[in-house]
Amino acid sequence: MTAVTTAAWTLEGVSGGPGGRAVLDQVSLTVRPGELVGVVGANGAGKTTLLRAGLGLVGLTAGRVSLGGQALDALKEAERARLVGYLPQERRVGWNLAAARIVQLGAPDLSEGAARALAVDCLAKVGLAGFEGRGVLDLSGGERARVLLARLLATRAPLLVADEPTAGLDPDAQYLALELLTAQARAGAAVVTTLHDLGLATRVCDRLVVLKDGRVVADGPPREVLDGDLLRSAFGLDGGFVETADGPVLVTRRAQAR
Amino acid sequence: MSRRAMTALVLALAGVLLAGLLLGETALSLSQYGQALTNPGSPPGEVLWTIRLPRALMAALIGGGLGLAGASLQGLLRNPLADPGILGVSAFAGLGAALAIAAGLSAVTGAVEAGALVGALASGLLVSGLAAKFREPEALILLGVSLSAMGGALTALIFNFSPSPVATAEVMNWLLGSVANRDFGDIGRAVVPMAIGAALCLWSGRGLTMLTLGEETAAMSGLPMARLRTAAVAGAALMAGAAVAAAGVVGFVGLAAPHLVRRLSGDDPAKLLIPSAVAGAILLTAADLLSRVLPSEQELKLGVVTALVGAPVFALVAWRAARSWRS
């Protein structure tokens, strides 16, 4: 079998949810190498379930998932790990390991020395140079989130899946996190992330996939997707894009009649 | 853990083992120690080599197994309060032994030990199955607590219906834990399940470290997590069962040992395993020594000593954990 070097991620007609619940309803989605795709939707729309289902962490009642052209369930655990880097929404860390050690866990394929050097590099990228020896439970919530983002980068996987990577980060760190994910996409990775900040999502994502009640209700470039009707039906918001010197900016407010 | 810290631990173990050999109820003079060394068949030699040495080695073996089992379960369950007792293994091992005694098999060599091991293995298999089914550590802890309560209740039922107060006293005495009067044959019988259990726990180490980041990250890490999780539970159950079979119920060593070396191991569950085994060996050898040298009419039972020392340790750990939850 030829080794997969790029990893397009395809979900076709996927239905299912945790414990057999019907959270997702016939979801289809493709993320290609080189693009950053944002998955957006209201709370409970099924964003996290979509990512988990696409990674084999949730049982499907219908549909199929493929990675790099191969069926996901046909991949061995080690091969899947080589292809996918995953940052779950859950940020709880069990023990007070040093930040560098946490990051190194993203690169189990490397020797101790090489993994350590990579960890130092990744921590510097997320703005935590000098934090290598700090216990991760001694850090603030935002700093811990950055360490976990650094671990995601250390995987060097061709598909990066990040569930709310900006949660708990200050505004500057939110931009930094998304710049880092964009850089991974530009370097050839397929990157998919869930986001709640629609303004940020429209600025950085190549494509937005909008979920509502477990269904994909829109999929395309942000400016084409987020029109007034969709903002109201999927998010309960009024608004639209406003042209500024800095480019188009999405402006929203709560819909008057809800 | 740094090489220096590990060396210090091993030296400390050597120290308590030596103390276990040299100290005891029977005071020996220098010339008697010399006689024991030159003539192992002499009365002082008998005291040192056939009474004290196997007893100290058995304490170290049991303590090492319990320490390793505790570290393994704490890593698996991501819970600093986990130990072999929490999964019900000790309770079911005690139940197996109590059944053997109540059935009048205590005169049959190895029957009580076999009963304990069967009880431990039965609960170990059950818990391993549950560990494969439920990924959430909280679910496993709660199921373990209920198993433990069930094992304790069934043992109490045996006391309740036991027609013979002698058998009841015998069960009680056995459950209090002891490594007195053990010989090298007993050690040989305990070594095999201990070694298999230790190998399983050590193999699961890299999975335990990955579990630090949660079930989902571990599941996506490429490691065979289902097998590693089962190995950790089965290994811990096997060691705890072998410990109960060999020495009765000895609590708190599995809980306390990992905490003594956690910081030295960088809080890494995999790197904590071997130091916890050494720390457990030190703790139990020292506890047994204490039970022998404390002046009392009746020798203190090992399980009583470890509980008296371990309960405050448990309270301290819980106190610290509660403080961290509050902050």
Residue bearing tokens 């930040």: A99
Residue bearing tokens 């069962």: B241
Predicted structure pTM score = 0.89
User: pLDDT tens, A107-147?
Assistant: 998 999 999 999 999 999 999 999 999 999 999 999 999 99
For the record, the structure tokens of B135 come out as: 């990924």
Instruction: Name which of B215, B135, B132, B220 is nearest A77 in CA terms.
Output: B220
ipTM value for the complex: 0.90
pLDDT grade, residue A3 (50/70/90)?
Answer: very low
H or E segment at B18? helix B3-22
Domain that holds residue B27: 3-326
- Distance of alpha carbon B205 from alpha carbon B198, whole angstroms: 11
Number of cross-chain residue pairs from A and B with Cβ atoms under 8 Å apart: 66
| pLDDT the model gives residue B143 | 86
Give A60→chain B minimum CA distance, Å: 17
Please report, in angstroms and rounded to a whole number, the separation of the first and last CA atoms in chain A. 54
**CA-based nearest residue in chain B for residue A97:** B267
CB of B58 closer than 8 Å to CB of B179: yes
Cβ contacts of B268 on chain A, cutoff 8 Å: 95, 97, 101
DSSP letters spanning B263-324: GGGTT-HHHHHHHHHHHHHHHHHHHHHHHHHS--SSPPPHHHHHHHHHHHHHHHHHHHHHHH
- Distance of alpha carbon A186 from alpha carbon B129, whole angstroms: 45
pLDDT grade, residue B324 (50/70/90)?
Answer: low
pLDDT grade, residue A193 (50/70/90)?
Answer: very high
Cα B27 → chain centroid:
29
User: pLDDT tens, A30-82?
Assistant: 999 999 999 999 999 999 999 999 999 998 999 999 998 899 999 998 899 99
* Amino acid symbol at A7: A
pLDDT grade, residue B105 (50/70/90)?
Answer: confident
Tell me how crowded residue B150 is: count the other CB atoms within 10 A of its CB. Answer: 15
Tell me how crowded residue B189 is: count the other CB atoms within 10 A of its CB. Answer: 18
User: pLDDT tens, A201-248?
Assistant: 999 999 999 999 999 999 999 999 998 899 999 999 988 888 888 888
Instruction: Name which of A97, A99, A130, A104 is nearest A118 in CA terms.
Output: A104
B217 at the A interface (CB within 8 A)?
Answer: yes
Instruction: Name which of B113, B105, B94 is nearest B156 in CA terms.
Output: B94
CB of B22 closer than 8 Å to CB of B10: no
User: pLDDT tens, B304-320?
Assistant: 888 888 788 778 877 87
Task: Say which range, A21-25, B77-81, B203-207, B281-285, has the weakest mean pLDDT.
Answer: B77-81
CB of B290 closer than 8 Å to CB of B235: no
Most confident range, picked from B113-117, B144-148, B204-208? B204-208
**Total domains present in chain B:** 1
* Amino acid symbol at B82: A
Q: Domains in chain A, start-ordered, CATH in brackets?
A: 9-226 (3.40.50.300), 231-258 (no CATH)
| pLDDT the model gives residue A23 | 93
pLDDT grade, residue A1 (50/70/90)?
Answer: very low
Cβ contacts of A19 on chain B, cutoff 8 Å: none
Q: HSE, CB side, 13 Å, CA atoms: give it for residue A139.
A: 28
CATH at B167: 1.10.3470.10
Residues 6+ apart with CB under 8 A from A137: A93, A95, A96, A144
> A108–B268: do the CB atoms touch at under 8 Å?
no
3-state secondary structure of A88: coil
